Chain A
């Protein structure tokens, strides 16, 4: 039972264009959502997060949008840079239990 789903295993975009990574969740108990970035042979690193009471959070080139009724969130990267090439994980947490669940990841390739 996959509670956090990233249905696109990979995404390729041109440098300077927008990258949009999507994530769906099933558990209504999740109240915080986070995005992590991972390079090969390293642990994931935090990118950006959003509370379930908000619908948008922006940090520089990164914006996360939350559609709570659709149980869907997306990460927008604009403009995309070659250094953004990595695996991106969506994660959801339930603060009443402390559980932190990750999706399958999307591999982003930004071409120069």
Chain B
């Protein structure tokens, strides 16, 4: 079972560049989430989706965009990368926010 797959695992971006972090799940989960983890700051919710075609802002959405055209995929788009977006990004999915969420291995992004 693949579970939640994130690509790439590592990436270095220059200031002002853009990129898309990919997230795919094969568990037919409706709920998907994007988090960033900064040192000592825990996991901050960027965007989430409760089903295909539906997305909503989390705690720290500025500088990011998402789309959910299929149940399986939930890409996170960074436009005009800034050093403040240097972080580890985690994608997660679940059947319900009341049950276990499954996380990907994370994407370590550095903006220089």
A residues apposed to B, CB below 8 Å:
6, 9, 31-32, 34, 41-46, 49, 51, 89, 93-95, 97-105
Question: Once the chains bind, are B105 and A93 in contact (CB under 8 Å)?
Answer: no
Question: Once the chains bind, are B45 and A101 in contact (CB under 8 Å)?
Answer: yes
B residues apposed to A, CB below 8 Å:
4, 31, 33, 35, 40-45, 48, 50, 56, 58-59, 90, 92, 94, 96-106
Task: Determine how close the nearest CB of chain B comes to the CB of A82; give it in whole angstroms.
Answer: 23
Question: Whose C-beta in chain B lies nearest to the C-beta of A32?
Answer: B98
Question: Whose C-beta in chain A lies nearest to the C-beta of B6?
Answer: A43
Question: Once the chains bind, are B97 and A94 in contact (CB under 8 Å)?
Answer: yes
Question: Once the chains bind, are B101 and A100 in contact (CB under 8 Å)?
Answer: yes
11 contacts between A and B (CB under 8 A): A32-B98, A42-B105, A42-B106, A43-B92, A44-B90, A46-B101, A93-B97, A98-B31, A100-B33, A100-B94, A102-B35
Question: Whose C-beta in chain B lies nearest to the C-beta of A30?
Answer: B97
- A94 surroundings in chain B (CB, below 8 A): 97
- With A98-B31, A98-B97 as known contacts, state yes or no: A104 contacts B92, CB within 8 Å: no
